[in-house]
Amino acid sequence: MSALQSLTSRGDYTLVICEKPDAARRVAEALEERPEHYKIGYSEVFLVERGEKRYVICSSLGHLYTVADLVKRRSIYPAYDVEWVPISQAEKSARIAERIRVISELAKKANFFINSCDFDVEGETIGYNILRYACGGKETVALRAKFSTLTAEELRDAIAKAKPGLGGNLAEAGRTRHIVDFMYGINLSRALVESIVSATGGYRTMSIGRVQGPTLSYVVEREITIRNFVPLPYWSADAIIQKDGRRLTANYEKEKILQLKLAQKVIDDCTGKDGTVKEVKKSVFREPPPTPFNLGDLQREAYRCIGLTPSQTLYMAERLYLDALISYPRTSSQKLPPSINYKKILTGLTAMTGFRDHAFLLLSGKLVPHEGPKDDPAHPAIYPTGEIPKRSLQPKEFKLYALIVRRFFAVFAEDAIRERVAAIIDIAGHIFKVNGRTTLRAGWLAYYADFISHQDKPIPDFVEGEKVKVLRVKLYDKFEQPPPRFNQSSLLAKMEEDSIGTKATRAEIIHTLYSRGYLAEASMSATSIGFSVVETMQAHSPAILSIDMTREIETSLERIEAGGIDGEQVVERVMDELGKSLYSMKRAEAEIGKRLNSAVRSVVAEENTLGTCPVCKEGNLIIIRSRASGKRFVGCTNYAKGCRASAPLPQRGIIRPLRKACKTCGWPTISARFSRFPMTFCINVQCPTKGKKWVRNG
């Protein structure tokens, strides 16, 4: 008898469906310390006997079903006839096909069903589709377990209190979002690709989407502003004074002096003169603690403090969640309800050396968190569970975990109390200021010290009317600066501010814009393709870039979650609006194709050029693909003139030139992405660094 037959032959069990294998194991071990474990092909299934109840716990691998169009020819658009199909059918995945088969067989003998996927739009969509398609229409009778952490206590409680009726609107909103995004993505991408095929006969993967379009337009518009910026000159001045044996800088009261003659007059008037303290201003102010992390706050802070991209932060946070170390990370909330048991969490953290002292200190006082205004009906803000890690965390993983713990500490701490001091100094009728700042009570700053740079700047005691020695007065030539380029953190904040995308998708959208070649570099600049796509949309389909339209759809999806409207209304409206854009693009197909192809060729040439040849010093090293073998390698453009410089390349993964020479041998360095994290290395096989490990970014 097979393992599957052995399980199903018992009958009379509740089938618990989890989102990921690690979550299924957590649920099983929460219900019973050593559950029966069955390996069925690629799937792991657990059997638990708990009192008079029997549970069979299985898992998905994220989404098992996806939206597909009924029109199989990729050249045809618009494509509005869509259906939900197994991902294994769309992508030919044996692993997914088998998992669906196992769940279907387990469902046949189950008496009850519990959807135990993550409680949010995506988790509800995953569970709903499995119950509907793999389990034979059980989505309306299944119970729903709701939890925010994978700790044993909370999981046991969630399974025991599972009830019907939770999350129904979330599922409809999630399914509608997938259909809407698929319609936008498949149709607009086909329109772009077919325009290139029509104009050139060639093929290039192109895409644009409902949220990708406005997000890309942010970067392009900022880049245009930077390129068109005219830097106007201005001048600033400061004085170096001496007080109690210390040299201090006093800044001129006007940060910008717009005329050189006025600036020079300040210098001429003050040179050789002493100053008089005209006034001393002191003010004490409070700095309240930060608010608890939601996902967007965590992603921005992790970028600032650790250098993690938003997608890396989400990936690591999900791993910490699956290890039961933190609560569910995909949340919008900045609130920590008392039900999470602050005291228990802090008591758990006292067992960890790096957090012990501060945890004990907080436990000795009153625990009232400083919360923010944002809420999420599904989950609280992100918080540590107090569980001890059962595996060794990677360095950046631990830094992220420490950031979450320290933030949790900080929100319970007192306000910091600080004092500002400003000495106003008159030098020949011109006003200069010496500014100081001192911490009177550290409060929350002491708990969050590893992740902030609040440095005190004490200054000597000044007395009104006293004379001060001026050592020199100096003028500085400056130019106004353009607005900074976006980085992944600031772009994420802009998306959140304008309410486009979701907490779960924003990081992935930014990642997609990079992978499509629309964006380049850490400080974002739009490539020729990125510019061309935006310009094309502006000329022929401006609605695709409309923030208002995207926000309106987001609002409609939120209304579905709240039960205000149904998904069909939203889909019908999207079909109507999208059709207008596609009609306009179809009419201008040849023109669009020529414009995009020119940009593609420019970027491909740039992507394939690694740098100056270190051998002949004249040619460029470029990526070449052999016509005979199909393999890629590096060669010199001066090959016809006799330069034989060459180097092998990895035959899989995405190659990106870093535009930096190896510090050891001078050959170009590249980035190769084989998984979520890229590797960087020198291409020279003779480089002494080849004896060392590759550098992993992340």
Mean pLDDT on 150-161: 95
Angle at 572 between CA 571 and CA 576, to 5 degrees: 115
Is the pLDDT at 676 greater than 70? The verdict is: no
Distance of CA 78 to the CA centre of its chain: 31
Q: What is the CATH number of the domain that holds 276?
A: 2.70.20.10
**pLDDT the model gives residue 377:** 85
Residue 677 CA to residue 449 CA, distance in Å, equals 29
- 565 and 431 in a single domain? The answer is no
Percent of the chain topping pLDDT 70: 97
pLDDT in tens, 47-98: 998 888 999 999 999 899 999 988 777 778 888 889 999 998 877 778 899 9
Calpha distance 432→423 (Å, rounded):
8
Domain-terminating residue out of 446, 462, 479: 479
For residues 30 and 13, membership in a common domain is answered with yes
Determine which one of 184, 252, 321, 328 is catalytic. 328
Specify the 3-state DSSP secondary structure of 551.
helix
Residue pLDDT, tens place only, 441-455: 999 999 999 999 878
Given a cut of 60, whether residue 356 has pLDDT beyond it is: yes
In a domain, 607, yes or no: no
Cis peptide before 329 (omega within 30 of 0): no
- Is residue 139 domain-resident? yes
Same domain, 22 and 137: yes
CATH number of the domain residue 403 falls in: 1.10.290.10
| Residue 277 sits in the same domain as residue 425 | yes
Pull the structure tokens for residue 108: 């046949």
| Cβ atoms of residues 174 and 125 within 8 Å | yes
The model's confidence at residue 697, banded by pLDDT at 50, 70 and 90, is very low
CA distance linking residue 530 with residue 28, whole number of Å: 48
Q: What is the dihedral of CA 63, 333, 162, 150, to 10 degrees?
A: 70
What's the rounded mean pLDDT across residues 211-233? 94
Q: Which two tokens stand for residue 309?
A: 């991209």
pLDDT the model gives residue 693 = 43
Q: Which of 86-90, 485-489, 625-629 is predicted least confidently?
A: 625-629
The answer to whether position 106 is within a domain reads yes
Label the pairing between strands 695-696 and 678-682: antiparallel
The reply to whether 608 falls in a domain is no
3-state secondary structure 167-200: CHHHHHHHHHHHHHHHHHHHHHHHHHHHHHHHHH
Q: In the prediction, which pLDDT does 650 show?
A: 84
pLDDT (tens digit per residue) in 248-267: 999 999 999 999 999 999 99
Same domain, 318 and 440: no
15-25 per-position pLDDT tens digit: 999 999 999 99
Mean pLDDT value of segment 9-13: 79
Give me the percent of the chain exceeding a pLDDT of 90. Answer: 60
pLDDT at residue 564 in the model: 84
**Residue 276 CA to chain centroid, in angstroms?**
52
Task: Establish whether 328 is a catalytic residue.
Answer: yes
Is the four-CA dihedral 638, 640, 643, 649 of positive or negative sign? positive
Residue 241 lies in a domain: yes
Regarding predicted confidence, which is higher, 208 or 91?
A: 208
Residues near 231 by beta carbon (within 8 Å), at least 6 away in sequence: 479, 480, 481, 482
Q: What is the DSSP string of 263-317?
A: HHHHHHHHTT--EEEEEEEEEEEEEPPPPPB-HHHHHHHHHHHT---HHHHHHHH
| Residue 605 belongs to a domain | no
- Number of domains making up the chain: 5
Please state whether 237 falls in left (phi above 0), alpha (psi between -120 and 50) or beta: beta
User: How much is the pLDDT for 685?
Assistant: 84
Return the pLDDT at 694. Answer: 42
- Domain boundary among the residues 411, 429, 444 is at 411
Domain extent, residue 50, equals 3-166
Cβ burial of 264 (10 Å; 0-12, 13-18, 19+) is middle
In this predicted model, what pLDDT tens digit does every residue of 503-556 receive, in sequence order?
Answer: 888 999 998 898 888 888 777 888 888 898 898 888 888 888 989 888 888 889
53-59 and 13-18: which strand pairing?
parallel
What's the pLDDT at 674? Answer: 65
pLDDT tens per residue across span 567-615: 899 999 989 989 988 888 888 888 888 888 887 777 667 777 888 888 8
Statement: residue 39 has pLDDT above 70: yes
Q: Cα dihedral sign for 636, 638, 642, 643?
A: negative
Query: What whole-number distance in Å separates Cα of residue 498 and Cα of residue 490?
Result: 12
Flag whether pLDDT at 692 surpasses 60: no
Q: Are residues 584 and 637 in the same domain?
A: no
Q: What is the mean pLDDT of the chain?
A: 90
Same domain? For 619 and 687 the reply is yes
What Å distances lie between residue 426 and 268, 283, 387, 433, CA to CA? 15, 21, 60, 9
CB-CB contact of 408 with 400 (8 Å): no
Question: Are 178 and 258 part of one and the same domain?
Answer: no
Cβ-Cβ contacts under 8 Å for 521 (sequence gap 6 or more): none
CB atoms within 10 A of CB 158: 21
* CATH code: domain of residue 50: 3.40.50.140
Q: Which of 552, 568, 600 is the last residue of a domain?
A: 600
**Is 156 inside a domain boundary?**
yes
- The CATH number of whichever domain residue 524 belongs to comes to 1.10.460.10
Residues 247 and 355 in one domain: no
> Do 55 and 36 sit in the same domain of this protein?
yes
Q: Report whether 479 contacts 258 (CB < 8 A).
A: no
- Token look-up 């200069």 returns 432
Determine the Cα–Cα distance for residues 252 and 387; give it in Å rounded to an integer.
54
124 and 7 co-located in one domain: yes
According to DSSP, the residues that pair with 647 across neighbouring strands are 634
Q: Is 156 exposed, middle or buried (0-12, 13-18, 19+ CB in 10 A)?
A: middle
Say whether both 123 and 51 belong to one domain.
Answer: yes
Distance CA 664, CA 667 (A): 8
**Is 606 a member of any domain?**
no
| 481 has pLDDT over 70 | yes
- From 53, 29, 40, select the one nearest 111 (Cα to Cα): 53
pLDDT beyond 60 at 396: yes
In the three-class reduction of DSSP (H, G, I as helix; E, B as strand; rest coil), residue 227 is classed as helix
